[in-house]
Amino acid sequence: MALATPCPLCIFLHFLLLLPFTIAQNHIKIPLGSSLTANDGNLVWASPLGEFAFGFQQIEKDGFLLAIWFNKIPERTVVWSANGNTLVKRGSKLELTKNGLLVLKSPTGKQICVVQGAGSGVAYAAMLDTGNFVLASQDSVSIWESFNEPTDTLLPLQAFNQGKRLAARYSGKNFSKGRFQLKLRSNGNLELYTTTFPMDAANYVYWSSNTAGSGFQVMFNQSGSIYLQAKNGTILSMLSSKPSSTEDFYQRAILEYDGVFRHYVHPKNNGPDTKGWSRAWSHCSTSIPSNICLSLKEETGGGACGFNGYCSLEKDQRPNCHCPNGYSFIDPNDVMKGCKQSFESQSCDVNSKEEDKFYFNTMENTDWPLSD
């Protein structure tokens, strides 16, 4: 596939990696020739029970994200997206073509990108109630599925195999690729690492399962346990062990933009066991890593809060970025970017008693690792 423009939706069919499954669950067939348009109307392809929807979400004034989201909660939380790096304009169109391609087109009709599947026998698409969007053949065998191309989120029943990775988004509302990734390496080791942002390459591993040679698959099972297992099914590492049933709770696990992998639950409206739970996502179980401020000690890179910044872990276990006295955020709207000095640097050329202007400032319980 050769594309002239940067391709936001780079999805290929991995026939060899894919274990085709027959869609047994209830599903609505979206026939070839169907399409969706990015506009203010909310035509979407919803799953049979309406749990999930596939369509365009408006992110900014003229920027739309092709995504899958939880459709029965007001937040419409995104669990998968196709074009986080390049939002599309109003009037852009997603087409499931007659020959089984999924094509995203700009308002002027320019083809932006496709899911390749020509000649592969795609007969229809379906949004399933598990959150998996599939392209399937006439006899309902899946040919492509969003579960095999995760972005930053895992859902119950979604397996995460060797070679797969999650890429954190840049910030809460900016879906472009950020600074952190989680990968199950082909040797079986599960690793969280910083990237050489804005490039994609791995820079510094800040958490590892230490399972090279035995790790096979991360499972998120129906009762909400997330674990790394060996090929024979032995659990090697429990990532989240506070299960809640998928009957009463929506669940998701996400590598968040602050570099932490977290498991969230949200009570379902019709669930019986929801007393005492606020109707919002709540973080359950431990975070990985448990203290991101202490985990990021890369020699080249700015830690969890960027160069010159320092990090504190708040009561809710979230990192908070600060600047030392005399420094201010490079971008107050993006505090992880680091801090810049607010004072003029000392100069040898000027004949003044500058030492009066400098002082030592004591900071209790603060460490500046690797550069004391």
In the complex, least distance from residue 163 CB atom to ligand NAG, rounded to whole angstroms:
18
Q: Give the shortest CB-322-to-ligand NAG separation in angstroms.
A: 21
> Residue 210 interacts with ligand NAG (CB under 6 A)?
no
For ligand NAG, the closer CB: 43 or 235: 235
For residue 2, the one-letter residue type is A
Specify whether the CB–CB gap between 346 and 358 falls below 8 A: yes
Of residues 252, 248, 22, the one with CA closest to residue 157: 252
Give whichever of 105 and 177 is closer to ligand NAG, judged by the CB atom: 177
Applying CB under 6 A, among 11, 32, 123, 230 the residue interacting with ligand NAG is 230
Secondary structure (3-state) at 338: coil
Residue 217 binds ligand NAG (CB under 6 A): no
Q: How many helices (H) and strands (E) does the chain have?
A: 1, 28
Residue 162 interacts with ligand NAG (CB under 6 A)? no
From 33-41, 114-122, 225-233, 354-362, span contacting ligand NAG (CB under 6 A): 225-233
Q: Using the minimum distance from each CB to ligand NAG, give the nearer residue, 33 or 233.
A: 233
Q: How far apart are CA 166 and CA 181, in angstroms?
A: 6
Size of the site for ligand NAG (CB under 6 A): 15
d(CA 318, CA 362): 25
| Contact between 214 and ligand NAG per CB under 6 A | yes
Question: What is the C-alpha separation between 162 and 300, in angstroms, rounded?
Answer: 28
What DSSP string runs through 2-55?
--SS--S--B---TTT----B--S----EETT-EEE-SSS---EE-TTSSEEEE
Nearest-approach distance from CB 331 to ligand NAG, in angstroms:
9
Residues of this chain, 163-182, that bind ligand NAG according to CB under 6 A:
170, 174, 176
Q: Note whether 86 binds ligand NAG by CB under 6 A.
A: no
**Is residue 202 at the binding interface for ligand NAG, with CB under 6 A as the rule?**
no
Strands 35-37 and 249-255: unpaired
Phi, psi torsion values for 155, nearest 5 degrees: -120, 160
Residue closer to ligand NAG (CB basis): 175 or 281: 175
Q: Are 135 and 142 in contact (CB under 8 A)?
A: yes
Q: Does 222 bind ligand NAG (CB under 6 A)?
A: yes
Rounded to an integer, what distance in angstroms lies between the CA atom of residue 229 and that of residue 225?
A: 12
> Does residue number 225 form part of the binding site for ligand NAG (CB under 6 A)?
yes
> Which region, judged by CB under 6 A, interacts with ligand NAG, from 96-104, 221-229, 273-281, 290-298?
221-229
CA dist 345 and 328 (Å) reads: 15
Closer to ligand NAG by Cβ: residue 71 or 83: 83
* Site for ligand NAG contains 158 (CB under 6 A): no
250 binds ligand NAG (CB under 6 A): no
Q: Does 189 bind ligand NAG (CB under 6 A)?
A: no
* Closest to ligand NAG by CB, 144 or 170: 170
Residue written as tokens 């591993």?
Answer: 205
**Triad 139, 145, 146: Cα angle to 5°:** 155
d(CA 212, CA 370): 28
DSSP 8-class letter at 337 = G
236 vs 294, which CB is nearer to ligand NAG? 236
Q: Is 60 or 367 the residue whose CB approaches ligand NAG more closely?
A: 60
Q: What are phi and psi of 305, to 5 degrees?
A: -125, 15
Choice from 25, 42, 187, 223 touching ligand NAG (CB under 6 A): 223
Which residues contribute to the site for ligand NAG (CB under 6 A)? 60, 63, 87, 170, 174, 176, 214, 221-223, 225, 230, 232, 234-235
